[in-house]
Amino acid sequence: MDVVIAYSFRFVLYTLFGLSLEVIFSVTGIERALGYRLQRRVPRKYLEGFVSLYMIPLHGLGLLFGFEPFHALIRDWFVGFRFLAWAVIISLFEVAWGFLCDKVLGFYSWDYYAQSRYRVFRRGYTLWTLVPLWGLAGLLLEVYSDLLIHLSPHVVSFFS
């Protein structure tokens, strides 16, 4: 039961973290990464962000069962190598999730990437301009992940 509590705690916080970063990025940086202005429903001054609930499994399960074990393997690498590893791995996960959603659901929630001149693949499952940002996100997630792993026993003891 303790493992379930610890994993549930980290799943929820990874999901909230990932969705929050998506909203912040959709407000502040997506148009620079795309290379064109998105058509927005409300004026930009409202700082409206957007995110898809289809991303919950990727953020929650992907970080819990993909990111954490891989981070344990590369923890002692030089920061530059870790940056490159995260840039490549997270980009590949984005491509794989986009491809899977596209085939299963008939769309993926960031399909507006296909209109960008920076798209990767004809369908735009990721952007070349995002690759270095994924490297930075990986380094940031290393710290966040370590914090959640450190806090997990305290959460377990609270609920036990």
For the segment 111-129, the average pLDDT, to the nearest whole number, is: 84
Which residues on adjacent β-strands are paired with residue 120?
Answer: 126
Domain with 122, as residue range(s), is 2-159
Distance CA 143, CA 96 (A): 25
Task: Please say if the pLDDT value at position 144 is more than 90.
Answer: yes
N-term to C-term CA, the chain: 9
Torsion angle of C-alpha atoms 69, 63, 143, 141, degrees rounded to 10: 130
Q: pLDDT class for 97, splitting at 50, 70, 90? A: very high
Which residues on adjacent β-strands are paired with residue 55?
Answer: none
pLDDT digits (tens, 9 = 90+) for 17-66: 999 998 888 888 777 777 778 777 788 888 888 888 989 998 999 999 99
| pLDDT, position 72 | 96
Domain count, the chain: 1
The position carrying tokens 């930075």 is 136
For the segment 83-110, the average pLDDT, to the nearest whole number, is: 92
Q: pLDDT class for 12, splitting at 50, 70, 90? A: very high
CA nearest 90: which of 76, 74, 102, 103? 74
What are residue 8's phi and psi, to 5 degrees?
-65, -45
Task: Please say if the pLDDT value at position 140 is more than 90.
Answer: yes
pTM, to two decimals: 0.88
Q: Which residue has the higher pLDDT, 11 or 111?
A: 11
